Structure 1
């Protein structure tokens, strides 16, 4: 559970006004948001889906929150919204919601939903329609996610703090990758650094052997490290829910000439891609710099994953470990804007590199500052 204390009430009011502007354009009278990310952006609070919860935004009257009774008081402490309505754990929340909407004359309203919301299952949607038979639903798409793409200076500052934690945690975790050590040692060191340096708890770390090209989501292993091993580290500390990302690889002992050359080539191509992250740049063109460059250089035969994605606010309870509201791929027809923040990442033949990058008026700013190089630990 997260209380967003860095965002002002005035900013939340501005977000509400922007949502209502889109509601009017879509001709809906009320909107329902039940994804963790959307709820947090709108009201400053969200929690797990052990029991369903939502934020309701009428076009005219005040917004309100429906939530299980156990979480009602933490919700009141964490949100600017005045009206928080609880229901008991064994109750069906849909009749409660129907009653609250009826009180506001919205039983037969046009309701905006995100049809792709992981919170609104088919069963829940059918229950909603059964208790509100006059309701008409309209797909608003990922409205809240689209609106939160442009970060406030305060949000970028949280990402900058998370990035500095990632830098120091990487230094410490990489140093633990030595002959006789283990991936678990590196994970323990990284986690201790998170806690010491001010990261949120339950922050994620990916550590695995670097084998081939598509290794970055590989499996954590417990065996001792040996000379010649290459270890992939991806650190994801969060500060007040805002997550930075940083990937590096560690050679245990002197790297082969091929490994060193691969790292050098990949870094040079990624440097060019990051330099292109400027307001007005077409995302597919930015993507092509790395994707086509890696294949053209012979580092990979094909490049089948995206080369970057949105960074921002993540809660531990979300089913999404990454925010793909905007991603870099060959068909990406959207435009880079000032205030966006991305995880730009690349991998090829045992080498992994990534950065947290903010887009400023004059171009990219690397929020992560750890040297972008192959890390070599003497055996």
Structure 2
């Protein structure tokens, strides 16, 4: 059973007719096609008992087909009303369009109201988001391989960052070098802006890479990740420039011990909360 079929099974099991999927990341997860439509409309419509269709800007239709998507694709131009067009395509395929499941965590109120105006007697109360989240928790072998590739490029980027570090360089310069090395190898998307933070600046959780110059005998924190075919890596590492003082090394050792303790305790069935409590002890 593929991912679309799992959504169709959920619709049948939950007495729903149609799933309206509006989150670009969910659409990518289910179809492999990704685009950020910005102010435009991108929607995957999944029917309980017939083929789905993808709807989006006309300038994206060929790119959708290039992914291998074999079900219908419909595009619209900026002067056209996308919601009416979606409604027309649904009505052409389904006469019992009474119960819609939506992604409540993503679909805006304004867009929901646009749909409700076109389907005034329909029910939009079903929330598809928890089911999609549960689906994404369990990775297929293919997904695991993609995560491994993303992790491999994360390791590559970290190594390039380590090699770039030297006293007198700014954090920005080190981040730029590791990101350029990724781009030279075709890795164009990062999980988030790479963080390189040195000395006391490294104590700011989720801070920002800055123009601060790296000092000798200090620690440097890296936090970065890469994206491979929609799958994301994320790793943090700390290195030393020269020989940091005893207090800095004590802090490093405490953090390392907590991390290793949690790693050793990982096993099927244990919760993240339980691991976090182990780390604190």
Q: Distance in 2 between matches of 1:179 and 1:207?
A: 13
Where in structure 2 are the equivalents of 1:183-202 lying within 5 Å? Answer: 183-199=171-187, 201-202=188-189
Q: Which residue of 2 is the match for residue 251 of structure 1?
A: 240
1:106 shift after superposition: 4.3
RMSD (CA atoms): 2.0
Q: Distance in 2 between matches of 1:106 and 1:57?
A: 14
Where in structure 2 are the equivalents of 1:172-251 lying within 5 Å? Answer: 172-199=160-187, 201-203=188-190, 204=192, 205-209=194-198, 211=200, 215-251=204-240
Match of 1:132 among 119, 129, 146: 119
Q: Distance in 2 between matches of 1:271 and 1:198?
A: 33
Q: Distance in 2 between matches of 1:283 and 1:167?
A: 24
Q: Which residue of 2 is the match for residue 95 of structure 1?
A: 84
CA separation of 1:260/1:39 partners in 2, compared to 1, >3 Å: closer, same or farther?
same
Deviations for 1:325-350, whole angstroms, at most 9, x for unmatched residues? xxxxxxxxxxxxxxxxxxxxxxxxxx
Normalized against structure 1, the TM-score is what?
Answer: 0.68
CA separation of 1:274/1:202 partners in 2, compared to 1, >3 Å: closer, same or farther?
same
Q: Which one has more relative contact order, counting CA pairs under 8 Å at least 6 apart?
A: 1
Q: Which residue of 2 is the match for residue 64 of structure 1?
A: 53
Q: Which residue of 2 is the match for residue 158 of structure 1?
A: 146
Q: How many residues align?
A: 277
Q: Distance in 2 between matches of 1:107 and 1:283?
A: 43
* Residue 257 of structure 2 is aligned to residue 268 of structure 1: yes
Q: Which residue of 2 is the match for residue 17 of structure 1?
A: 5
1:228 shift after superposition: 4.3
Give the unaligned 5+ runs of structure 1.
1-12, 294-379
Q: Which residue of 2 is the match for residue 282 of structure 1?
A: 271
Give the unaligned 5+ runs of structure 2.
none
1:81 shift after superposition: 3.7
Q: Distance in 2 between matches of 1:226 and 1:283?
A: 36
Q: Distance in 1 between matches of 2:234 and 2:208?
A: 19
Matched position secondary structure for 2:200: coil
Q: Distance in 2 between matches of 1:92 and 1:207?
A: 45
Match of 1:170 among 140, 158, 169: 158
1:25 shift after superposition: 2.3
Match of 2:134 among 146, 153, 157: 146
Query: In 1, are the aligned partners of 2:199 and 2:215 still within 8 Å (CA)?
Result: no
1:76 shift after superposition: 1.2
Match of 1:105 among 94, 98, 109: 94
Moved over 3 A (4+): 209-214
Query: In 2, are the aligned partners of 1:209 and 1:220 still within 8 Å (CA)?
Result: no
Q: Distance in 2 between matches of 1:173 and 1:249?
A: 11
Identify, as 1 or 2, the structure richer in helix. Answer: 2
Matched position secondary structure for 1:62: coil
Matched position secondary structure for 1:180: coil
Matched position secondary structure for 2:137: coil
CA separation of 1:35/1:55 partners in 2, compared to 1, >3 Å: closer, same or farther?
same
Normalized against structure 2, the TM-score is what?
Answer: 0.91
1:197 shift after superposition: 4.0
Q: Distance in 2 between matches of 1:114 and 1:254?
A: 52
Q: Which residue of 1 is the match for residue 35 of structure 2?
A: 47
Q: Which residue of 1 is the match for residue 24 of structure 2?
A: 36
